[in-house]
Amino acid sequence: MARMKTTTSIHLFSLANTLIPGGVNSPVRAFRSVGGTPLFLERAKGSTVRDVDGNAFIDYVGSWGPMILGHAHPKVVAAIRASASRGTSYGAPTPGEVGLSRLIRKAFPSIEKVRLVSSGTEAAMSAVRLARGYSGKDKIIKFEGGYHGHADAMLVSAGSGALTFGLPDSPGVPREAAKHTLTAAFNDIASVKRLLERNRNQVAAVIVEPIPGNMGVVPPAPGFLAELRTLTKRHRALLIFDEVISGFRVAFGGAQELFGVVPDLTVLGKIIGGGLPVGAFGGRKEIMDALSPVGPVYQAGTLSGNPLAVAAGIATLTELSRKGAYRELNAKADYLAEGMAGAFSASGVPTYTNRVGSMGTTFFQKGPVTDYVSARRSDTKRYAKYFHGLLERGIYIAPSQFEAGFVSLAHTKRDMDRTIAAAKAVLATL
């Protein structure tokens, strides 16, 4: 097996380090958790990405999930081109944002009104502000290992116990900004009950990834989300589903359709823009009408509802709404999962896989993985070897043990057979 060329990526990374902190514009791209030099990608089509040295890879990162149709889908590209020819930004209302909002509301019955923003981070931050403003309460409960963007109030993780008062998880975040963020353990409903009881009438909302994807994929335990819904209603706290990853990914109506649990507010990410910079949050009319200019809770953005993003989003969601789209997607994911399970089992390497539909993570440990604490038991050094072994064989997965992998509608049986064969070859060396 010839070693892949990385000369140009190495040169660009060296130059980038003189211009950009760490040489990257988002930390996980730096390959710090797996070692080596990050690849600089310059083009993608369907299920394949290509780097600046001419290497081609079957892609299971998919821009961290939104490329559910595959890269450069013809209808999405055509929509972007047509929109760009009319102008790239107006800072004013457009027909497209009305059309995209209608598609979102159709997919998510819990969303009676929606506000478009520019990223998932902005959407989560705004949803939390809205929950506080609507309820008149300050405290928020999140879950250890749950990621809701890098806004100050969300950069909080648990300490040594399952329950903790918020402490900043990054320098630059004042304690005062984090002190109202409480942390519970995912899949541990008792930890949520204790926090709500100890902070009675002070909790504005519970925010949760219904299917966490940022500690690796961790499915909710049976009944966990339904119990969250019951508890939040009892304590008059809003329930916020952060569906930046799961929305339109596990079902057209996201995790709330899959599990039959209806939140008060929903956060969506760049899948609603075909991978372009966009986000959204929405929910019941009486809550959303607390936003300015109708209500007193301020939120604004010049690029909110950007015409390029909404055009790409309309094209993407229209494709996903066609009959059989998710049946086809899940059949592909099932095929890959079955083949990979055989490869892992035959290798004897301790692994444990969590999967919901077309998103999943294989943890390098015996498992089970049900929360952040159990996820962290994974053998990250072995994962790094696995990552680089696959990369050398033309398979691109997340450069971190604690991220999700994604199957797209563009992946073919040939792609997946190649992936399974590559995994077998790499696992034999571990």
What does R_g of the chain's alpha carbons equal in angstroms? 21
| Residues 247, 289: Cα–Cα separation, whole Å | 23
Q: Which tokens belong to 153?
A: 């109030």
The two structure tokens encoding residue 178: 């984090």
Give the type of residue at 38.
Answer: P
Let me know if 242 is a catalytic residue.
yes
Would residue 323 show up in a list of annotated catalytic residues for this protein? Answer: no
φ, ψ dihedrals at 230, nearest 5°: -65, -45
Backbone φ/ψ region at 149: left (φ over 0), alpha (ψ -120 to 50), beta: left
The per-residue DSSP string of 169-225 comes to SSTTS-HHHHTTEEEE-TT-HHHHHHHHHHTTTTEEEEEE-SS--SSS--PPPTTHH
Catalytic residue, candidates 59, 188, 242, 264 = 242
Sheet holding 48-51, edge to edge: 41-45, 48-51, 56-59, 395-396
Residue 313 to residue 118: CA distance in whole angstroms: 13
- Beta-carbon count within 10 A of 402 CB: 23
Extended strands (E) in 309-387:
352-356, 359-363
Catalytic site residue from 60, 134, 147, 326: 147
Peptide bond preceding 293 in cis form (omega within 30 of 0): yes
Which of 152, 156, 151, 186 lies closest to 169, judged by CA? Answer: 156
The answer to whether 383 is a known catalytic residue is: no
Token pair 């999930």 is found at 65
The pair of three-digit structure tokens given for residue 320, joined into one six-digit string:
């996903």
302 is written with which tokens? 């010049």
Structure tokens at 146: 């749950």
Residue positions annotated with a catalytic role: 147, 242, 270
